[in-house]
Structure 1
Amino acid sequence: MATPRRNTVKRTRTSFSFTEISPGLLRLVAVLVLGLMLLAGVLGVRAMLNNPENLPISRIDLQGERKFIKDAELQAVIGKYQQTNLYLLDVNALETDLKTLPWVRAVTLRKAWPDQLIVGIEEQHPVALWGRERLMNKYGELFAADLSSIRGLLPTLYSPEDKGREIAERYLQVKEWLKDLPLEISELTEDESGSWRLKIKDGPEIMIGSEDQERRIQRFRVGFQQELAKKLANVRRVDLRYTNGFAVEWKKSPVGSRDSTNGVAGVSDVKKRS
């Protein structure tokens, strides 16, 4: 008896090949893998830098010309921030602390990886004393610092309204008006009423007043060249606050002076102005 034939179904195997994946999908996968690797690297570096003991600041480079600031003063401030790394360094706090030093005007901080901090210091450049306790820099800004090393070396300027730049400009203006005379200005001050007062180094004080300053200085120039130059050592004060002429107060009244009682002579107009 014949055995019936079974119907057999041929199964075809399907094969998978990467060549069948679209290039766009491959690029996307590659980008994702690369991104994950970069993220892992960044997180690893960040975790390392969050530990202040890793790559601590080991080099400090101080830059900028310094005449009054000592390196030890700067190091004392910077040292408080040096026990960390550049990543964790609070540059704003360090800059603020450095600016509290009396002679520091400006600070710039730059990080040079992996472990160097570059500190740029702009020192105050004093051009005048401001009253008895402060100084004025070349920008007309006022600041407080030790005056012992420069007292007597700089002119003294002052205004109750702290008009540093304006008074400095007036000082230069008066110097220009007196430039041909053998006189050195040691003080120029302004009082509450706006009246100018001038002090000549090793010489008299000159009351200029609050108006017509240039004309009054020119009047003084004429009087100085004609008469006062040879008697300057005996002059205590010159008052220019008159419509015409000026008054001279002597240390010792010269023989023949108009007023030998109080040592005042040379008033050619009794109408005094401010």
Structure 2
Amino acid sequence: MWNNHHALDLLAKSLFAMVAMAVLYEIGMQLIRPPLFPIKEINLQVVQGTEDNNSQLQNVTYAQIENLVRKEIEGNFISVNLTALREAFVKLPWVRDARVNREWPHGLNVTLEEHQALAYWGSQALVNTHGEVFRVTADVDLPVFIGPNEASALEVTQQYRRFNQILAPLQQQIEQVMLTQRYAWRIHLNTGTVLELGRNEIEERLIRYVSVYDHSIARLNQQESLVYVDLRYPNGFAIRLPETMQREPHKSAVKRET
């Protein structure tokens, strides 16, 4: 073998390559170990939806962020696990989404999007403005959405916005929107009135209610709101009057309007 110059040359090159790889590996390990390239600053930006803006935190606290940074950031600028750090931020209550990236030479950029609560989902959760159900502890005055399953929250959210637009001329606010198991719609208003819309032509039925309200429904009682309005009739609707009016013999408890 020692007289085989080709074999000796190949062995020497192999040994040189192994030594070079070992040196590079050691250099790399030194680079990713503290105290080299320490993370010295966290740059926080708060956005709403897809808008690139600098909003203020509404529900997430800076104390929560500081506690997370102390517990979750391991390594230095090069070795820190950005994916794990992002997942930790997303687990914070009220955080809908998070983005984390490096800022040379010693910083991290963190972008947070908070949930914007639109309504309660039953009594167990909240619905954000994207129609997504999320769970946090909250004590705020919001309408209530009820649906057959959480997947229906987006549809209920979309209909809620449309219902509000239709009811705007009456200045009546929605306190509850219900989508039943049979996919029928029911609205509870802040006046105490329940509107039964059914499963078909729901927007058309609500538009009809608004169009006749001032010159018909509102005149039935100037002091108390109606208890119930069934809008599922093809050419009109049925109403239920408050109990005080039902006891008066000269007024009917049920009326249909065309």
Q: Shorter-chain TM-score: what band?
A: 0.7 to 0.9
- Measured in 2, the distance between the counterparts of 1:54 and 1:165 equals 48
2:251 maps to what in 1? 257
Higher relative helix content: 2
Structure 1 residue 183, shift from structure 2 partner:
1.3
Provide closer, same or farther for how the CA distance between residues 215 and 51 of structure 1 changes in structure 2, counting only shifts above 3 A: closer
- Measured in 2, the distance between the counterparts of 1:190 and 1:142 equals 15
Residue by residue over 1:156-183, the C-alpha shift from the partner in whole angstroms, topping out at 9 and shown as x without a partner, is: 2232133222222212222233232221
Residue by residue over 1:92-129, the C-alpha shift from the partner in whole angstroms, topping out at 9 and shown as x without a partner, is: 11111111112111111111233222211111122232
- Measured in 2, the distance between the counterparts of 1:202 and 1:49 equals 67
Structure 1 residue 223, shift from structure 2 partner:
4.0
Gaps spanning 5+ residues in structure 2: where? 1-16, 47-54
- Measured in 1, the distance between the counterparts of 2:33 and 2:94 equals 35
Contact residue 146 and residue 177 of structure 2 kept, 8 A: yes
- Measured in 1, the distance between the counterparts of 2:106 and 2:204 equals 63
2:207 maps to what in 1? 218
Aligned residue-pair number? 226
- Return the match for 1:58 from 16, 40, 44: 40
- Measured in 2, the distance between the counterparts of 1:114 and 1:213 equals 58
Structure 1 residue 40, shift from structure 2 partner:
8.9
Structure 1 residue 42, shift from structure 2 partner:
5.2
- Measured in 1, the distance between the counterparts of 2:210 and 2:33 equals 72
- Measured in 2, the distance between the counterparts of 1:47 and 1:218 equals 69
Larger CA deviation: 241-250 vs 104-113: 241-250
- Return the match for 1:181 from 166, 170, 173: 170
Alignment root-mean-square deviation, CA: 2.7
- Return the match for 2:95 from 96, 104, 124: 104
1:46 maps to what in 2? 28
In structure 2, the residue corresponding to 1:179 is in which secondary structure?
Answer: helix
Structure 1 residue 138, shift from structure 2 partner:
2.5
Contact residue 32 and residue 75 of structure 2 kept, 8 A: no
Contact residue 198 and residue 207 of structure 1 kept, 8 A: yes
- Measured in 2, the distance between the counterparts of 1:209 and 1:253 equals 28
- Return the match for 2:136 from 134, 145, 153: 145
- Measured in 2, the distance between the counterparts of 1:113 and 1:102 equals 29
1:65-84 to structure 2, matched below 5 A, reads 65=55, 66-84=57-75
Contact residue 56 and residue 82 of structure 1 kept, 8 A: no
Superposition TM-score, scaled by structure 1 size: 0.72
Gaps spanning 5+ residues in structure 1: where? 1-34, 259-263, 270-274
Which of these two proteins has the greater Rg computed from alpha carbons? 1
